[in-house]
Chain A
Amino acid sequence: MDFANLASQLNAGTILPEGIVILTLLGVLIVDLILGRTSSRWIGYLAIAGLLAAIVALYFQWDATNPIAFSGGFNSDDLSIVFRGIIALSAVVTILMSIRYVEQSGTALAEFIAILLTATLGGMFLSGASELVMIFISLETLSISSYLLTGYTKRDPRSNEAALKYLLIGASSTAVFLYGVSLLYGLSGGQTELSAIADGIAKAHIGQSLGIVISLVFVIAGIGFKISAAPFHQWTPDVYEGAPTPVIAFLSVGSKAAGFALAIRLLTTVFPLVVDEWKFVFTALAVLSMVLGNVVALAQTSMKRMLAYSSIAQAGFVMIGMIAGTEAGYASMIFYLLVYLFMNLCGFTCIILFSLRTGTDQIAEYSGLYQKDPLLTLGLSISLLSLGGIPPLAGFFGKIYLFWAGWQAGLYWLVLLGLVTSVVSIYYYIRVVKMMVVKEPQEMSEVVKNYPPVQWNLPGFRPLQVGLIVTLIATTISGILSNPLFTLANNSVSHTAILQGTTAVSTQANAVNIEQPEKL
């Protein structure tokens, strides 16, 4: 094999964004080794610059003519670009949050950022991975870094416990996933590349055999863990409560987006024969997640735990788009994940700010906050209301698109359930707003009475403020000015080859669905 041929097979230019992240990661580590703690003043900004450069590189990859790289191991199509962008962006905001948080906890910032960048790298590779080994390796890179991040504040027993829980559950669900994946390798006659597996299974004429169904279920168990869909959600509330808050912010957006990217790529490419089965399983997961996430969130007293259940519920909403399986369905998922990034990270920034200033994150302690810190109150209120789907915020448009896509695909009951559980969700989101805004000055909690004067010029607070304001503005206006985001989401789906075959089938199914109601 001559060199030119090999280079075209490798097509290594497609992973330029990841390459930039790797360089940044190494840079952060080396600078830390050479300069020690003194570097922590600017090392965060170095990492942010690297991530932003990676996002710019992603922009230039858009609509690449030859997206397949590494002999089919990596696919840099538009779908993967959108997800890699979401993951990189969530890492940017997470670093903005963590500069002060990690410093205050007395641990090293550079190590934290290095592990976070590794997790980002794993997530970004996972979004484009189209080969079983590659998928597994990037999934593990993401997971192992996440365990380390969860237990990063190692003097805090809750953080330790969360890391142990996350590790045990995570490792076993990866093992289950691995078992499912190895079944696929066997069933397809020794293929590891995703489209080759689909061909192999089709050629073997095993159709919807038990083997395929078992491997499907095992794979879904692994995916369900990453996107924290009920009943694979049990780690979420405990990990969210124990882990450092910036880590949660990353897990709830970056890691979840990576899980959805994996889900779309794996399920649509490998399991076209059992499409009804995985849609059925996901319907069950969506129903459970929406009901359980929203109902249990009602009874939480800790802010982080409430957001944990809320993120389970939000995963349920996103799954509606996945089950619809149409072009609009996938586009609505991507759009929702984009706006979810803004609103969740805005919310978590406010929680970090509050806990940095007061040292607690109980919901009851927020009461009367509007008097002491109006910007924080505004940010948290807007982000929570947006999560609840109140117009004209970003979350409203995200939910409308999801429901509209679901309805177009004939998922009437699922959409109705989504609407009902949205009403439930408004109740617990508004409870926090009520604590902050509605309470009288004399009902102020002890913590808020002793609230320190708001100062932004302390070290590490400026990036927090920037992160808060940027995500706040994005949450407020990305609904009203949603056209660019809609175009982005729609194009990323319509330009992606792997989704074209599946959506064609589903549109036919829809055509049947349109006629059915006439018989009523």
Chain B
Amino acid sequence: MLSVLIWLPILAAAIIAVIPKNLPTNTVRLSALYFAAIVLLWNIFILFKFDISNPGMQFQENIPWNETLGLSYQLGVDGLSILMLVLNSLLTWIAIYSSSKDTQRPRLFYSLILLVSGGVAGAFLAENLLLFFLFYELELIPFYLLISIWGGEKRGYAGIKFLIYTAVSGALILATFLGTVWLTGSTSFAFDAVSTQTLSAGLQIILLAGIVLGFGIKIPLVPFHTWLPDAYVEASAPIAILLGGVLAKLGTYGLLRFGMGMFPQAWSIFAPTLAIWGAVSAIYGAVVAIAQKDIKRMVAYSSIGHMGYILLAGAASNALALVGAVAQMFSHGLILAILFHLVGVVETKVGTRELDKLNGLMSPIRGLPLISALLVLSGMASAGIPGLTGFVAEFIVFQGSFSAFPIPTILCVVASGLTAVYFVILLNRTCFGRLDNLAYYPKVQWFEKTPALILAVLIIFLGVQPTWLVRWSEPTTTAMVAAIPAMEKTVNSEIALKP
């Protein structure tokens, strides 16, 4: 059942790679779109079959693979991963939909996208550390090629930078996995076979540090984020959607699943640091975004800021905050996708992304009124305006983490305010004002608006009906929190008050 989510996209990738060369680009695109739609429907089907009251793994599959390595093909889905899977297949579909109808080398492009989609699904589903790592590293080369073949001007540089940062992240994660499994004396890399209870606190902290650094590069946390603006800005719009919407979630998912799930004790020791780190990330992302002159770069830094909240919520590690973290992961995926899509449309129609050159897009006749309206909506969603999904997620995060880490939470609230500041700057410079007399922009076709409209509907729907956002993850997160020692948490919150 779950295997379909992995292997159908990969099979589709293989089919698309070998279809005849002389087919028009649009046919290739449409066939990729059909495959992605089937995967999405299958994913929604699984979402409805998902038993919300069960905190454990569901739909498990287990096939022995390589016993010498302790590697088995073990899949399962729980409240932490189910939404991420949906996000992945939804954004894959949207990315393919929003790709240009005359993409160069379409067969390679779409087969790489589908390959990535299958790999990401595999990483979210894997119940074996090595299997997770295998799928995690599988993203490396396809994304490198997607950035450096179909990217902007400095794509070569951005691609290599992405590649090296991600490879380092993979090396750190692999070292930690090997270390954890060997030191706990387990012979298998399966999740349930690994228990870190027997390890000393010092060792647990070292291993957790490996995990935090490894996934911190991917999330990205502040000192390791420098690949992100380059990669997001140089990537074409569909690739940026996948990078920001899906790949970044792999980092936070890994941090919660492995950092918190495998090292509950060390996690509670680390938590104050992580909370402050998250707050610093959020403030940094917001402040740097204010200074940007390029809208895509602004959105990229906003992504850094928003990932900071997830770290804060993870650090607080109570049931509410974790539900908020999952909700924030999902809603950030939606919001970032719509922003990147709209920025992509603006760039193709207007021909620039510079804040100093854009003006008056709101103008009803000659401008791009619907696109601007959607841009306003998604900017508001990103800044945390009530009625939209961003607010719901952020509010749950803040509500949950305030009791544990008041000061970092307040800093994050400030960052959220700063988010509003740079989005207002962005909207003011692009949508409002007067249009140049020389501006004649091509019309926006219907199919170009559709993805944004779908995302906008989702954003509004989840904003007014947030149950649909949080109900999936509640039992799982409650169970995860129960594993974390309670006493230390109160001690830590006192420590966190001091700085």
Which A residues lie at the B interface, using CB under 8 A?
Answer: 328, 331, 385, 390-392, 396-397, 400-401, 403-404, 407-408, 412, 415-416, 419-420, 422-423, 426-427, 430, 433-434, 437-438, 482-483, 486, 490, 514, 517-518, 520
Q: Which residue from A328, A391, A412, A483 sits with its C-beta under 8 Å from B138?
A: A391
Chain A residue nearest to B187 in the complex (CB): A408
- A422 cross-chain contacts in B, Cβ below 8 A: 167, 171
- A438 partner, pick from B68, B156, B175, B202, beta carbons under 8 A: B156
Q: Is the CB of A518 within 8 A of B66?
A: no
Q: Measuring CB to CB, which residues of chain B are less than 8 angstroms from any residue of chain A?
A: 65-66, 68-69, 130, 133-135, 137-138, 140-141, 144-145, 148-149, 156, 159-160, 163-164, 167-168, 170-171, 174-175, 178-179, 182-183, 185, 200, 202-203, 206
The closest CB in chain B to the CB of A408 belongs to B182
CB <8 Å contact, A419 and B200: no
Assembled-state Cα–Cα distance A156/B130 (Å): 49
B138 and A392 form a contact (CB under 8 A): yes
B130 touches A426 (CB 8 A): no
Docked Cα-Cα span, A174 to B145, in Å, equals: 46
Task: Report Cα–Cα, A407/B145, bound state, in Å.
Answer: 32
Q: Is the CB of B69 within 8 A of A404?
A: yes
A163 to chain B, nearest CB (A): 38
Q: CA separation between A433 and B66, bound complex, in Å?
A: 30
Contacting residues, chain A, for B178 (C-beta < 8 A)? 403-404, 407, 415
Question: Residue A391 contacts which of B137, B144, B148, B179 (CB distance < 8 angstroms)?
Answer: B137
Do the beta carbons of A437 and B145 come within 8 Å of each other?
yes
User: Can you list 16 pairs linking A and B with CB atoms under 8 Å apart?
Assistant: A331-B68, A397-B66, A404-B178, A407-B179, A422-B171, A423-B164, A427-B163, A430-B141, A430-B144, A434-B148, A434-B159, A438-B149, A486-B66, A486-B69, A514-B183, A514-B185
From B68, B145, B174, B206, give the contact of A419 (CB < 8 A). Answer: B174
B445 to chain A, nearest CB (A): 27
| CB pair B66 A483 closer than 8 Å | yes
Give the Cβ gap from A336 to chain B, nearest Cβ, in Å: 13
- Closest chain B residue to A331, Cβ basis: B68
B137 touches A401 (CB 8 A): no
Q: What's the least CB distance linking A478 to chain B, in Å?
A: 12
Contact indicator A423/B134 (Cβ below 8 Å): no
Q: Max chain B CB contacts within 10 Å: which of A392, A400, A416?
A: A400
Q: Which of A396, A401, A407, A520 contacts B203 (CB 8 A)?
A: A520
CB–CB A423/B69 < 8 A: no
Interface of A is mostly: helix
Q: When A416-B175, A419-B174, A486-B66 are in contact, do A390 and B182 touch as well, CB less than 8 Å?
A: no
- Min CB gap A438→B, angstroms: 5
Question: Do B69 and A430 touch across chains, with their CB atoms under 8 A apart?
Answer: no
A513 — nearest CB in chain B belongs to which residue? Answer: B182
Q: How far is the CB of A489 from chain B (nearest CB, A)?
A: 9
Contact partner of B141 (CB less than 8 A), chosen from A385, A401, A483, is: A385
Residue contact A401 to B202, C-beta cutoff 8 Å: no
Q: Which of B68, B130, B174, B202 has the most CB of A within 10 A?
A: B68
Contacts of B138 in A (CB 8 A): 391-392
Which residues of chain B come closer than 8 Å to A434, judged between CB atoms? 148, 156, 159
Given A392-B138, A486-B68, decide whether A430 and B175 contact each other with a Cβ distance below 8 A.
Answer: no
Q: Are A419 and B134 in contact (CB under 8 A)?
A: no
Closest to A519 in B: B200
CB pair A401–B68 under 8 Å, yes or no, is yes
Name the A residues within 8 Å of B185 (CB-CB).
Answer: 514
Taking CB atoms, residues of chain B closer than 8 Å to A437 are 145, 149
Beyond the given A328-B68, A423-B164, A427-B164, please list 11 additional residue pairs across the A-B interface where CB-CB is below 8 A. Answer: A391-B135, A392-B134, A407-B182, A412-B179, A419-B175, A426-B140, A438-B159, A486-B66, A517-B183, A518-B203, A520-B202
Cβ-closest chain A residue relative to B198: A518
Tell me the complex Cα distance, A407–B137, Å. 20
CA distance A486 to B168 in the complex (A): 28
Cα of A419 to Cα of B175 in the assembled complex, Å = 8
Least Cβ–Cβ distance between B3 and chain A, in angstroms: 14
Least Cβ distance of A375 to chain B in Å?
12
Are A423 and B168 in contact (CB-based, < 8 A)?
Answer: yes
Q: When A and B form their complex, which 6 residue pairs have the shortest distance between CB atoms, in order from nearest?
A: A419-B171, A423-B167, A391-B134, A407-B178, A520-B202, A486-B68
Cα of A520 to Cα of B69 in the assembled complex, Å:
27
Contact indicator B69/A390 (Cβ below 8 Å): no
The residue from A390, A407, A490, A514 contacting B68, defined by CB atoms under 8 A apart: A490
Which residue of chain A is the closest to B138 with respect to CB atoms?
Answer: A391
Chain B residues, CB < 8 A from A419: 171, 174-175
**Nearest A-chain residue to B179, judged by Cβ:** A407
Contacts of A412 in B (CB 8 A): 179
B69 and A401 contact, CB distance less than 8 A: yes
Within the assembled complex, what's the spacing in Å between the Cα atoms of A470 and B171? 30
A408 to chain B, nearest CB (A): 6
User: Out of A400, A438, A482, A518, which one reaches B130, CB within 8 Å?
Assistant: A400
Residue of A385, A392, A397, A416 near B69 (CB, 8 A) is A397
> Within 8 Å CB of B145, what residues of A?
437-438
Q: How far is the CA of A423 from the CA of B163 in the complex (A)?
A: 9
Are A520 and B200 touching (Cβ within 8 A)?
Answer: yes
- Residues of chain A contacted by B163 (CB below 8 angstroms): 426-427, 430
User: Which chain A residue lies CB-closest to B65?
Assistant: A483
| A426–B167 touching, CB < 8 Å | yes
Inter-chain CA distance A404–B133, complex, in Å, is 14
B140 surroundings in chain A (CB, below 8 A): 390, 426
Q: What is the minimal beta-carbon distance from A503 to any residue of chain B, in angstroms?
A: 15
* Most chain B CB atoms below 10 A, which of A396, A430, A490, A518: A430
Q: Is the CB of A415 within 8 A of B137?
A: no
CA of A46 to CA of B467, assembled, Å: 74
Cβ of A390 and Cβ of B137 under 8 Å apart?
yes
Docked complex Cα distance between A419 and B137 (Å):
13
User: Which A residue's beta carbon lies closest to that of B205?
Assistant: A520
Tell which of B156, B167, B174 touches A403, judged by Cβ atoms closer than 8 Å. B174
A425 closest partner in B (C-beta) = B167
Is A415 within 8 A of B175, CB to CB? yes
Say how far B141's CB is from chain A's closest CB, in angstroms.
Answer: 6
A423 proximity list for chain B (CB < 8 A): 164, 167-168, 170-171
Output the least CB separation between B218 and chain A (Å).
Answer: 14
Q: For the complex, what is the distance from the CA of A415 to the CA of B200, rounded to whole Å?
A: 22
- With a cutoff of 8 Å between Cβ atoms, the chain B residues found around residue A404 in the complex are 69, 178
Q: In whole Å, how far is A93's beta carbon from the nearest beta carbon of chain B?
A: 25
Distance, CA A427 to CA B175, complexed state (A)? 19
User: A486: shortest Cβ distance to chain B, in Å?
Assistant: 5
Q: How far does the alpha carbon of A518 sit from the alpha carbon of B206 in the complex, in Å?
A: 12
Query: Which residues of the other chain, B, contact A397 by a CB distance below 8 angstroms?
Result: 66, 69
Give bound CA distance, A462 to B431, whole Å.
63
Q: Which A residues lie within 8 Å of B134 (CB)?
A: 391-392, 396
